[in-house]
Structure 1
Amino acid sequence: MSPSIEDVARRAGVSIATVSRSLRGLPDVAESTRDRVLTAARELDYVASPFAARLASGRTSTVGVVVPFVDRWFFAQVLGGLERELQAGGYDLLLYNLGDTPGRERFFTVMPARKRVDALLVASLVLTDMELEALKTLNCPLAMLGVEVDGVLCTGIDDRAGARVAVEHLISLGRRRIALIGGDTEDPMRFTPPLYRRDGYLQALSSAGIEYDPQIDELGYFTVAGGEQAMSTILQRDPRPDAVFAESDEMAYGAMRAIRRAGLRVPEDIAVIGFDDHESAELLDLSTIRQDVSAQAAVLAKRLLNVLGGDTETTTAELLPTELVVRGSTDPTRTSY
């Protein structure tokens, strides 16, 4: 006989309501209690089934989406693009926000998506071999946004190429001491843009015969405040840079604020370029690398829906284009003002 929710509650020493709230990830459950419930469920091989009627037919009409964060611009765009396409295709979106390292470990250990989704999409996470094998045990179609994995549907952009174009643009303007403001490549969440965009930055410097200087390479953590702090630190270096590549527009906004607060001019003293073409980039006259995040998500969702509909889809990675957008933060002749 399959274990019941009552069995889980008995083993964990909590009420049935607490088991239900813990397994659904609802608030107002102590972390220690939630962990005890998840451990009991795993030991009993218990899987909650909130869609019993659908499961009877073997389908849930739901696609699971795994993201490392939900409070960043990129992932808001991803979720918007996915939700529109999935809804149009008659599927619900079930979100799994990992949030931090314990959350990531819990997801890949407990696998809460089991029996709840018809397919699973992972956004901008570099998976370990063990994590990939865990996903394959779901026995459902898998898709990756922003990461190429053999045998898995993949859609994204070439972050390395985009970063190279950004830095090459600065070099073409005669800039030689080019700082980097990026994300943490050692972040245990293994969020992909910091890895790939840093590679592109280094490749562009090397191709131009410019020596990399770690003194002007600072972490901005993909936030405006982080970008400002990183730029403030870089400005203390001697000699100071004459340009900066920020791996996201939000970090570039912070960098420009720090430069101007130091009494310097953008771009005359220090040119600034970002990456994304965030909604505010044009307003702030920021040169950037444009990517259509929502379109990437929509394309991948359509490919996944094709597979769920019985069509054959090649697992070859589909890369969407990026575009250099030159504004006044690098070229004063291209200013919007």
Structure 2
Amino acid sequence: MVSIDEVARAAGVSSATVSRALSGRGHVSPATRQKVLQVADELGYVVSSAASSLASGRTRNIGVMLPDLHRWFFSTVLTGISEELSRRGYDLTLYNVTDDAEVRQEIFSSFLRRRRVDGLIVVAMELDADEIDQLTGLGIPVLTLGGSNPRLPGRAIDDHGVAHLAVEHLLRLGHRRIGRIGAEASFNRDFHVPARRENGFRDALAEAGLSADPQLCVTADFTVEGGHRAAKSVLGRSASAPTAVVAFSDEMAIGALLAARDLGLEVPGDVSVIGIDGHDLGPLFGLTTVDQHPLGQGGRAAREILELIEGTEALPTDDADADLPYDLVVRSSTSAPRIESVSAPH
């Protein structure tokens, strides 16, 4: 195995300079760092994680807690975290916190206390007071992503604003009969994301002098299949069918597009469909969406936890709402309604 001293001799610098260049800590000129990295690569030098940990007191390992690995959104956020940590030379330890109360308790009371991580990112999980006490007692930086907490620094997205923007887009196109595919009550467990989006949906309608029609509002489970079933129950109505549908996730919106096809409806001629997320399949389906940039969310969380570890940034703990950006991406699944001729609000 190639040693750090061999890299130093080949690069014509000291071992301390090699250490600083490879770790990214301490001052090294860009030219010297590039030279060291090139020589290390040519010699096949690999940093010893054990030696690095002993020297710095750090493991160069970040823990990530997720409530569900099967959802596209969470897996995409995790990909963003992983890619950024890899670029910075950090490993990742994943804690999949399921609905099993015993498993969740074991993770907080035992796994995390083994202190194998330098910092922890908690994604879309609402923590109770005891869990927060256990995390703060670890003595490592903890960052929440997807919800605010008065005791922990974090970042979140404005879910009310996300849904409000989706409805605004349809209203500007002239739609007045707008359906909604929301989420089942069980999904309100952490940070009440569906409820916040529901409020954004209803507030946007109210500002236009409209109210949500209960017959046009259905729920599903954030999957394509669930969205397909829910959309069929709404779009299958004859005289009372909506001219547009807002789905609280892109996967449910894709399900709605497929349901419209099955029913012989043209999109966007007979019905416009808009989702929320920024799913990879959105461009393939021509889906208009409010993109909340999950890959970017993950990358940002990784950068900020490393900044907290290195003491270069102090994030606020009082309110993390509306920190994360989101954008309307208009594609071919939305247009002005074919039947209604009511002008859009000013």
Note whether the superposition's TM-score is higher than 0.5: yes
State how far apart, in whole Å, the 2-side matches of 1:189 and 1:53 are.
40
SS at match of 2:225: helix
Instruction: Give, in angstroms, the shift of residue 311 of structure 1.
Output: 2.4
Residues 1:62 and 2:61 are matched in the alignment:
yes
1:142-291 pair list within 5 angstroms: 142-187=142-187, 189-190=189-190, 193-236=193-236, 239-291=240-292
Alpha-carbon offset, residue 82 of structure 1: 0.8
**Amino acid of the structure 2 residue aligned with 1:255:** A
Which of 307, 310, 325 is the aligned partner of 2:329? 325
Shift of 1:236: 4.7
Between 56-65 and 120-129, the greater mean CA deviation after superposition:
56-65
What does residue 95 of structure 1 align with? 94
Classify 1:91/1:296 alpha carbon distance in 2 versus 1 (closer, same or farther; 3 Å): same
Match of 1:136 in 2: 136
* Runs of 5+ consecutive residues of structure 1 not aligned to the other structure: 1-50
* Cα deviation, residue 188, structure 1: 6.8
Deviation at 1:65, TM superposition (A): 0.4
The one-letter code sitting in structure 1 at the alignment partner of 2:326 is T
Deviation at 1:109, TM superposition (A): 5.3
| Number of residue-to-residue matches in the alignment | 283
Q: What does the per-residue CA deviation read over 1:37-82, in whole Å, with 9 as the maximum and x for residues that have no partner?
A: xxxxxxxxxxxxxx89958975332211011111121112111111
Structure number with greater CO (CA < 8 Å, separation at least 6) is 2
Matched residues, percent identical?
41
Q: d(CA) in 2 for partners of 1:111 and 1:55?
A: 23
Supply the distance in 1 between the matched residues of 2:313 and 2:168 (Cα, whole angstroms): 40
Residue 80 of structure 2 is matched in structure 1 by 81
How far, CA to CA, are the matches of 1:70 and 1:167 in structure 2? 29
Alignment RMSD (CA, Å):
2.7
Post-superposition shift, 1:197?
2.1
1:251-299 Cα shifts (integer Å, max 9, x gaps): 1111111112112221222210011221221121111112221112111
Distance 1:297 1:170, change over 3 A: same
In structure 2, C-alpha distance between the alignment counterparts of 1:55 and 1:182, rounded to whole Å:
50
- 1:125 and 1:192 in contact (8 A); partners too: no
Counterpart residue type for residue 186 of structure 1: S
SS of match in other structure, 1:229: helix
Query: Match for 2:67: what amino acid?
Result: P
CA deviation string 1:3-36 (max 9, x = no partner): xxxxxxxxxxxxxxxxxxxxxxxxxxxxxxxxxx
1:70 maps to amino acid: L
Secondary structure of 2:93's aligned partner: strand
- CA 133–199 in structure 1, closer or farther in 2 if over 3 Å, else same: farther
Paired AA for residue 289 in structure 1: V
What's the CA shift for 1:89? 2.6
Q: State the alpha-carbon separation in 2 of the partners of residues 123 and 284 from structure 1.
A: 28
CA contact (8 A) 2:184 2:221 kept: yes
Return the alpha-carbon distance in structure 2 between the equivalents of residues 254 and 236 of structure 1.
14
| 1:323 CA drift (Å) | 1.4
Counterpart secondary structure, 1:160: helix
What is the CA–CA distance in structure 2 between the aligned matches of 1:239 and 1:103, rounded to whole Å? 48
Aligned AA (1:314): L
Deviates more, 1:161-170 or 1:197-206: 197-206
Match of 1:304 in 2: 305
Contact kept in structure 2, 1:68 and 1:98, CA below 8 Å: yes
Larger CA deviation: 255-264 vs 305-314: 305-314
Distance, in Å, in 1 between the alignment partners of 2:224 and 2:167 is 20
Greater C-alpha Rg = 2
The alignment partner of 1:182 has SS state of: strand
Say whether the 8 Å CA contact 1:143–1:153 is kept in structure 2: yes
**Could you tell me how far apart the structure 2 residues matched to 1:198 and 1:301 are?**
30
For 1:158 and 1:104, how far apart are their aligned partners in 2? Answer: 30
8 Å Cα contact 1:68/1:189 also seen in 2: no
- The answer (yes or no) to whether the contact 2:164–2:204 under 8 Å persists in 1 is yes
Q: Is the 8 A contact 1:155 1:299 kept in 2?
A: no
CA distance in 1, matches of 2:186, 2:55: 44
Tell me the secondary structure at the aligned position of residue 270 of structure 2. coil
Query: d(CA) in 2 for partners of 1:250 and 1:173?
Result: 23
